Amino acid sequence: MSTTTKQKRIKAITNFRRMGPEIVVSTSEAIQAHFDKNPNATAPLPVDMATVKSTTDLLLAKIAAAKDGGKTAIAEKNHQKEVVAGLLEQLAHYAEANCNGEMPTFLSFGFSPKSSSKKKTAPVSGSIRKIEPGEKSGEFKMTLMPVPDAGSYEVQWAPLGAGGVPGSWTSKAFTTVKAPVVITGLNPGTSYVFQARAVTKTGHSDWSESVTRIAV
């Protein structure tokens, strides 16, 4: 008698409508680059890349036109951001449906996965509560979980290379988790893995489980 194991579906983070217009542009450009000649994009796309590019280029033009602060120009910019965000959501659902439950395939489409559980923290290890795009391109804001008796915290990150192997790690120390940790200097369109740990009187805790995000 054979048994089958139900494969857990990978879900994409689709918070594009909450991003600023400039971040939506850089996100769209990064996703276009990931879809370009992607061997995993075998099924028909819900929207062609030419349409994604033209709507993104129009959003860029609307952003420039809205710099004078005119109400009409600002409204047009916001409307165009919603149009591009809608297209990105369609492509995100395409990635979910066509990755066959395999994380490397999913990441090849340029989207970030949602966490598979609300909390993945060992009782005494550092952990990451949330990661979201920062105010500028190439930035992330990371919220850490507090650890009892921790005097400080350490975060490390590295670009994700071929085969899902992290490259060179960069680390930074922080003394509090009350405010989000801001990580800067990342390359838009590049996948990064992040880890965190606490520093107590007895030494370092274990590094938390890796979290993967794509810089925008």
Q: Are residues 150 and 68 in the same domain?
A: no
Residue 194 phi/psi, 5° resolution?
-125, 145
- Residue 1 falls within a domain, yes or no? no
Q: Are residues 92 and 157 in the same domain?
A: no
Q: Are residues 73 and 149 in the same domain?
A: no
Q: Are residues 98 and 154 in the same domain?
A: no
How high is the pLDDT of residue 130?
83
State pTM to two decimals: 0.57
Q: Are residues 152 and 196 in the same domain?
A: yes
* Domain total in the chain: 2
Q: Are residues 95 and 169 in the same domain?
A: no
DSSP string spanning 5-40? PPPPPP-B---GGGS-HHHHHHHHHHHHHHHTT-TT
- Residue 122 falls within a domain, yes or no? no
DSSP string spanning 158-193? EEB-GGG-B-S-EEEEES-SSSPEEE--PPTT-EEE
Q: Are residues 33 and 103 in the same domain?
A: yes
How high is the pLDDT of residue 62?
92
d(CA 133, CA 55): 22
With a cut of 50, list the residues of the chain below it in pLDDT.
1-5, 119-126
Q: What is the per-residue pLDDT across 92-107, written as a single tens digit (0 to 9) for each?
A: 999 999 999 898 999 9
- Please, what's the b/e burial string for 36-57 (b: 16 or more CB within 10 A of its CB; e: otherwise)? eeeebbeeeeeeebeebeebbe
SS3 assignment, position 128: strand
How high is the pLDDT of residue 126?
43
- Residue 117 falls within a domain, yes or no? no
Q: Which residues pair with 156 in a beta bridge?
A: 171, 195
Q: Are residues 135 and 195 in the same domain?
A: yes
- Residue 32 falls within a domain, yes or no? yes
Q: Are residues 139 and 91 in the same domain?
A: no
How high is the pLDDT of residue 18?
83
How high is the pLDDT of residue 15?
86
d(CA 172, CA 160): 18
Q: Are residues 205 and 134 in the same domain?
A: yes
- Residue 55 falls within a domain, yes or no? yes
Q: Are residues 143 and 200 in the same domain?
A: yes
Q: Domain range spanning residue 40?
A: 16-107
